């Protein structure tokens, strides 16, 4: 949710700082190894950054790897290993120090990703947060299903830097012993003892949740997000509508139908989808003709979302870039200066687009196999979410016509396959031009003088 | 027309479920089940999911014309048990009709449902019919909250119309005792295959099990955001704007001199209310921001609170619209809720974009929302449970503050007119909405302007 914050004076086009809480929030993961803490941390961080809440994760394991350089074996984690404990304590402190720095420097949420399995450790963190004026929210992952844990280990532990020199069995054995080291001292968040803490306990990969004392808006959003994600294998297919008549003319926006090549693409899309043999595929389109016509050709039931409509270019709707340059040179230049935040007069910005796409992302998280037939700017926003791209990169992501992106979540990220369906189309991608402030002043003066001279000549005549 | 076709496939809300959902309340009396049922139903209807509450107490009152006392609820009262079972059966029969004939999508079965036996029979009933079941259990052991509940909604119930307050209170407490013996809460182990949310002590803690689909996820999110802390919501439009004076819709103009006067008066009114921790929200448009500026309180701007986008009709007068787009004008009068201005929005779109505002309003306490006519109608419709037919015609005049205070199962509304003159911007539905109508018939209900 993006609301501009009022500072002392009202400014019309308010900055994008979201005022969800007054104080920063420290999210603290809790759980034995291989319970999905890092998976959750990274995913949550990606989501919060995408909706405009500056977030960063601090993985204590990483600090330990930097400190220790070489990981020998699980013995490091034995509870009676005094030296090991000291180093781990130092790493946790170093991480918390960086958290403090980050939240003081404009960060709004920090995710402290570690086991934090003892009440004592959590108490230390709570005190640290209190001293610094941070709100604390715990995210505990509890899971006893041996299959899920084994799968976890295979997916993300075996490939960890800790086990580069081990074979699969050795790594698996060692990691299991590592988990054992934590088990004895593990104190789960307790309904009575911890009733004053704010937390969500996720049980059995999302079958059950216990939510306690949600303090504010951002925590409520975090809970909602965590309750909607799942780890069932699936793929998300993103593509644009087939080439449209306005695309061919080089015009942006509008609501035209498909060109002949666009219709051709739709047929190939249908073949491609059939060849993928996807179980229970959901198909989503926008409410604009070109995506609907594309879906119609695929011949599967589809749902229309207004939220998937292309970015509204306001006064520039249906213009060619050359026309925009001619009629609105200043606007054109300003857009190139900050393409993410720039809002077309009477239209939208990419930033607005992200906000209206948030329910789409939430539902994409809930679903399994989905094909989203949308538009260039919309697809850039969705892609930025899945591939963790920044606001600077987002408006320049390449989303060419007639190409399907197949995204498959794997480990901590997303595998991307780009499938070009071999039907020619115009290129609608405009790179960031080399624009300096002098260039657009030059343009402005040029246009002003041109108009002035033109007017003078008119008067003379 | 165009709107129908698009609407038929999908509008603001994606296909939430294919099968209807039966929400089953669970809990002792005076635990807020009816409060939750009504509020949830109001929210779901507002976002476009046809929902209805089936309150067992009402069926019982119809079956047993006059309530004597708590003895009716004694577990050893065989005759009463039979009547109560019959009522439950009738209620479920009505649920079937609601789903199959009335196109309902969600039914809320508001009863105690405190025994495992009763819940099992509901689950088999639903399975047989192909309904999804989601339980909402409210658990509360705080005697203060329970006493407060009883005072707010039980003492004034039809059951106690001939009793004084203390008699009613005493009888109701005995009624609760009747249920306590046989109350079996949803169990972590035994009920692990059911879908449910358990709400503890009015929301300090929740247990959520096996959410099956989108609608259940939305219901859980909503239930986790509502609270019962007393507070008031103030709704007001911006002060009269320059475009208002000219009878033009939309646009982004500043306040007229009278509009500025209103803003100052609003500031005075707010100060006089001595509201604790008031949050002020505006849209991104000049006229609401200028209004808020006069309040001298920090305010937050929401793009979602911007006025409805009138597309090609932006900044036109109604006379202009009649002249340039007579057919569109008529179509709008035919179905003002769903009608979407070309290149613009419909009220239905507006509701969809206001949903996050409503969610945050639920989380907050004292809030003043400075917004626009169509936006205010949508918010008001949510708070006062108005249908989509009534919504676009709700009266939201300029220079008037509405103070809404939740009370019992609804909302008390106070209209406070700040006595600064302004144009009227309310256009009633004209008698003739046919596309073939004469211009005079279309323009009949247009309010005066300069």
Residue A255 sits in the same domain as residue A307: yes
We report the CATH number of the domain holding residue A204 as: 3.40.50.300
Catalytic residue among A140, A241, A264, A358: A241
We report the CATH number of the domain holding residue A371 as: 3.40.50.1240
pLDDT at A442: 61
When pLDDT is cut at 50, 70 and 90, the band that residue A434 belongs to is confident
Top-confidence residue, B11 or A131: A131
Taking an 8 Å cut-off on Cβ atoms, the answer to whether A227 and B208 are in contact is yes
In CATH, what is the architecture of B233-444?
A: 3-Layer(aba) Sandwich (3.40)
**Residue A17, domain member (yes or no):** no
When pLDDT is cut at 50, 70 and 90, the band that residue B204 belongs to is very high
Question: For A39-53, how does the pLDDT look when each residue is reduced to its tens digit (9 = 90+)?
Answer: 999 999 999 999 999
Give residues with Cβ within 8 angstroms of A370, minimum separation 6: A234, A236, A237, A281, A282, A283, A284, A364
User: To which residue do tokens 């008067």 refer?
Assistant: A459
A3 vs B contacts (CB less than 8 Å): 281, 300-303
Taking an 8 Å cut-off on Cβ atoms, the answer to whether B10 and A356 are in contact is no
**Residue A451, domain member (yes or no):** no
When pLDDT is cut at 50, 70 and 90, the band that residue B152 belongs to is confident
**Stretch B385-392: mean pLDDT, rounded?**
97
Q: Distance between CA B391 and CA B381 in Å, rounded?
A: 6
Of A173, A208, A227, which marks where a domain is finished? A227
Top-confidence residue, A49 or A157: A49
Top-confidence residue, A106 or B13: A106
Q: Which of A52, A208, A314, A346 to mutate to test the interface with B (most CBs of B within 10 A)?
A: A208
pLDDT at B157: 87
Q: Distance between CA B335 and CA B329 in Å, rounded?
A: 10
**Residue A180, domain member (yes or no):** yes
Residue A254 sits in the same domain as residue A399: yes
**Stretch B20-47: mean pLDDT, rounded?**
97
Residue A146 pLDDT > 70: yes
Question: For A382-395, how does the pLDDT look when each residue is reduced to its tens digit (9 = 90+)?
Answer: 999 999 999 999 99
Residue A20 pLDDT > 60: no
**Residue A449, domain member (yes or no):** no
Range of the domain at A392: 236-437
Q: Which of A1, A2, A5, A6 to mutate to test the interface with B (most CBs of B within 10 A)?
A: A6
Does the annotation count B372 as an active-site position? no
Residue A252 sits in the same domain as residue A336: yes
Taking an 8 Å cut-off on Cβ atoms, the answer to whether B205 and A211 are in contact is yes
A207 vs B contacts (CB less than 8 Å): 209-210
Residue A221 sits in the same domain as residue A312: no
pLDDT at A166: 86
**Residue A314, domain member (yes or no):** yes
Residue A57 sits in the same domain as residue A176: yes
Residue A288 pLDDT > 70: yes
Residue A48 sits in the same domain as residue A176: yes
**Residue A19, domain member (yes or no):** no
pLDDT at B18: 72
Enumerate the domain spans of chain B: 21-224, 233-444
pLDDT at A300: 87
Q: Distance between CA A367 and CA A42 in Å, rounded?
A: 20
**Stretch A428-450: mean pLDDT, rounded?**
67
**Residue A205, domain member (yes or no):** yes
Taking an 8 Å cut-off on Cβ atoms, the answer to whether A191 and B205 are in contact is yes
Same fold, B21-224 and B233-444: yes
Burial of B113 (0-12, 13-18, 19+ CB in 10 A): buried
Residue A73: both structure tokens together:
């074996």
Annotated binding site of A for substrate: 240-247, 290
**Stretch B79-104: mean pLDDT, rounded?**
95
Taking an 8 Å cut-off on Cβ atoms, the answer to whether A227 and B207 are in contact is no
Which DSSP string corresponds to A191-248?
A: TTTTTTS-EEEEETTTTEEEEE---SHHHHHHHHHHTT-------EEEEEPPPBHHHH
pLDDT at B192: 95
Residue A141 sits in the same domain as residue A290: no
Mean pLDDT lowest for which of B1-10, B343-352, B377-386? Answer: B1-10
Contact between A31 and A115 under an 8 Å Cβ cutoff? The reply is yes
Burial of B373 (0-12, 13-18, 19+ CB in 10 A): buried
B242 is in an annotated binding site: yes
CA closest to A368 among chain B residues:
B213
Q: B21-224 maps to which CATH number?
A: 3.40.50.300
pLDDT at A444: 58
Residue A242 sits in the same domain as residue A307: yes
B13 touches chain A (CB under 8 A): no
> For residue A434, what are the CA distances in angstroms to A335, A343, A440, A441, B122?
13, 20, 11, 14, 67
Question: For B304-334, how does the pLDDT look when each residue is reduced to its tens digit (9 = 90+)?
Answer: 999 999 999 999 999 999 999 999 999 999 9
pLDDT at A160: 87
Coil vs helix vs strand at B234:
strand
Question: For A256-273, how does the pLDDT look when each residue is reduced to its tens digit (9 = 90+)?
Answer: 999 999 999 999 999 999
Residue A180 sits in the same domain as residue A258: no
Chain A: give the shortest CA distance to residue B212, in Å.
10
Residue A456 pLDDT > 80: no
Contact between A284 and A370 under an 8 Å Cβ cutoff? The reply is yes
Burial A327-358, CB ≥16 within 10 A → b, else e: ebbebbbbbbeebbbbbbeebbbbbbbbbbbb
**Residue A107, domain member (yes or no):** yes
Question: For A6-17, how does the pLDDT look when each residue is reduced to its tens digit (9 = 90+)?
Answer: 332 333 333 323
Q: Distance between CA B16 and CA A321 in Å, rounded?
A: 40
Taking an 8 Å cut-off on Cβ atoms, the answer to whether B284 and A14 are in contact is yes
Residue A405 sits in the same domain as residue A303: yes
Whether the model pTM is above 0.95: no
Smallest Cβ distance to B14: which of A3, A14, A303?
A303
How many A/B residue pairs have CB atoms within 8 Å?
Answer: 100
pLDDT at A346: 86
Annotated binding site of A: 240-247, 290
Residue A190 sits in the same domain as residue A207: yes
Does the annotation count A429 as an active-site position? no
B260 is in an annotated binding site: no
When pLDDT is cut at 50, 70 and 90, the band that residue A155 belongs to is confident
B209 touches chain A (CB under 8 A): yes
**Stretch B199-226: mean pLDDT, rounded?**
96
pLDDT at B396: 97
Coil vs helix vs strand at A410:
strand
Residue B2 pLDDT > 60: no
Of A203, A227, A251, which marks where a domain is finished? A227
The mean pLDDT value of chain A amounts to 90
Q: Could you give the number of structural domains in chain A?
A: 2
């Amino acid at each position: 949710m993006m609301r501009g914050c009022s500072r002392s004076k009202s400014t019309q086009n308010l900055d994008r700082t979201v005022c969800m809480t007054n104080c920063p929030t420290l999210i603290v993961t809790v759980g034995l190894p291989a319970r999905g803490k890092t998976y959750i941390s990274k995913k949550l961080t990606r989501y919060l950054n995408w909706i405009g809440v500056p977030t960063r994760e601090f993985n204590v394991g990483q600090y330990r790897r930097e400190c220790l350089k070489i990981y020998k074996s699980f013995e490091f984690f034995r509870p009676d290993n005094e030296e090991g404990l000291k180093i781990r304590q130092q790493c946790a402190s170093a991480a918390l120090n960086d958290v403090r720095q980050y939240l003081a420097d404009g960060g709004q949420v920090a995710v402290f990703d570690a086991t934090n399995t003892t009440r004592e450790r959590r108490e230390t963190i709570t005190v640290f947060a209190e001293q610094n004026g941070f709100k604390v929210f715990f995210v505990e992952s509890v899971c006893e299903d041996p299959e899920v844990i084994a799968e976890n280990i295979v997916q993300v532990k075996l490939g960890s830097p800790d086990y580069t020199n081990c074979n699969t069995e050795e790594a698996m054995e060692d990691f299991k012993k590592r988990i054992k080291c934590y088990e004895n001292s593990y104190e789960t968040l307790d309904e009575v003892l911890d009733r004053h803490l704010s937390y969500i306990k996720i049980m059995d990969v999302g079958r059950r949740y216990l939510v306690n004392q949600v303090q504010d808006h951002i925590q409520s959003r975090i809970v909602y997000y965590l309750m909607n994600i799942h780890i069932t294998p699936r793929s998300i297919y993103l593509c644009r509508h087939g080439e449209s008549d306005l695309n061919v003319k080089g015009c942006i926006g509008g609501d035209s139908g498909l060109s002949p090549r666009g219709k051709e693409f739709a047929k190939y899309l249908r073949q491609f989808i059939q060849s993928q043999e996807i179980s229970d595929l959901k198909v989503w389109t926008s409410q604009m003709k070109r995506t609907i016509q594309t879906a119609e050709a695929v011949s599967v039931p589809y749902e229309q979302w207004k939220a998937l409509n292309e970015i509204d270019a306001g006064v520039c709707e249906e213009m060619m870039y050359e026309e925009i340059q001619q009629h609105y040179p200043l606007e054109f230049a300003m857009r190139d200066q900050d393409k993410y935040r720039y809002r077309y007069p009477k239209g939208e910005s990419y930033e607005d687009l992200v906000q209206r796409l948030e329910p789409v992302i939430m539902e994409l998280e809930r679903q399994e196999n989905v094909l989203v037939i949308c538009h260039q700017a919309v697809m850039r926003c969705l892609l930025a979410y899945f591939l963790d791209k920044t606001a600077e990169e987002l408006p320049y992501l390449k989303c060419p016509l007639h190409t399907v992106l197949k995204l498959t979540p794997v480990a901590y990220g997303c595998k991307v396959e780009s499938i070009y369906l071999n039907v020619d189309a115009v290129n609608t991608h405009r790179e960031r031009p080399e624009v300096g402030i002098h260039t657009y002043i030059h343009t402005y003066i040029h246009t002003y003088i041109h108009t002035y001279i033109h007017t003078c000549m008119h008067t003379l005549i | 027309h165009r709107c129908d076709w698009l609407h038929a496939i999908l509008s603001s809300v994606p296909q939430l479920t294919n099968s209807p959902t039966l929400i089953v309340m669970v809990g002792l009396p005076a635990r807020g089940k009816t409060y939750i049922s009504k509020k949830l139903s109001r929210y779901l209807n507002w976002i476009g999911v046809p929902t209805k509450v089936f309150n067992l107490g009402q069926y019982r009152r119809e079956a047993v014309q006059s309530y004597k006392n708590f003895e009716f609820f004694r577990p050893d009262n065989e005759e009463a048990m039979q009547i109560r079972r019959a009522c439950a059966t009738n209620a479920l029969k009505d649920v079937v009709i609601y789903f199959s004939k009335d196109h309902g999508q969600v039914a809320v079965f508001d009863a105690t449902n405190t025994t495992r036996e009763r819940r099992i029979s509901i689950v088999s009933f639903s399975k047989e019919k192909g309904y999804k079941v989601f339980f909402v259990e409210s658990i509360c052991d705080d005697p203060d909250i329970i006493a407060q509940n009883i005072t707010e909604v039980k003492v004034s119930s039809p059951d106690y119309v001939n009793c004084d307050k203390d008699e009613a209170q005493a009888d109701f407490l005995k009624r609760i005792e009747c249920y306590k013996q046989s109350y079996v809460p949803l169990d972590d182990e035994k009920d692990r295959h059911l879908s449910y949310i358990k709400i503890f002590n009015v929301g300090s803690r929740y247990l959520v099990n096996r959410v099956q689909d989108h609608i259940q996820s939305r219901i859980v999110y909503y239930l986790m955001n509502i609270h019962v802390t007393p507070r008031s919501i103030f709704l007001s439009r911006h002060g009269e704007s320059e475009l208002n004076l000219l009878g033009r819709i939309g646009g982004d103009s500043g306040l007229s001199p009278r509009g500025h006067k209103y803003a100052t008066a609003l500031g005075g009114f707010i100060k006089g209310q001595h509201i604790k921790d008031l949050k002020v929200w505006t849209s991104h448009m000049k006229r609401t921001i200028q209004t808020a500026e006069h309040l001298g309180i920090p305010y937050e701007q929401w793009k979602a609170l911007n006025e409805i986008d009138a597309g090609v009709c932006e900044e036109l007068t109604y006379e202009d619209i009649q002249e340039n787009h007579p057919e569109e004008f008529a179509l709008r009068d035919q179905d003002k809720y769903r009608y979407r201005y070309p290149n613009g929005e419909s009220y239905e779109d507006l509701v969809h974009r206001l949903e996050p505002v409503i969610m945050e309003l639920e989380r907050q306490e004292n809030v003043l929302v400075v917004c626009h006519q169509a936006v205010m109608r949508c918010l008001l419709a949510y708070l006062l449970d108005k249908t989509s037919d009534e919504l676009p015609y709700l009266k939201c005049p300029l220079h008037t503050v509405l103070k809404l205070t939740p009370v019992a199962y609804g909302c008390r509304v106070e209209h406070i007119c700040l006595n600064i003159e302004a144009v009227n911007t309310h256009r009633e539905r004209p008698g003739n909405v046919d596309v073939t109508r004469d211009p005079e018939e279309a323009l009949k209900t247009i309010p005066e302007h300069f």
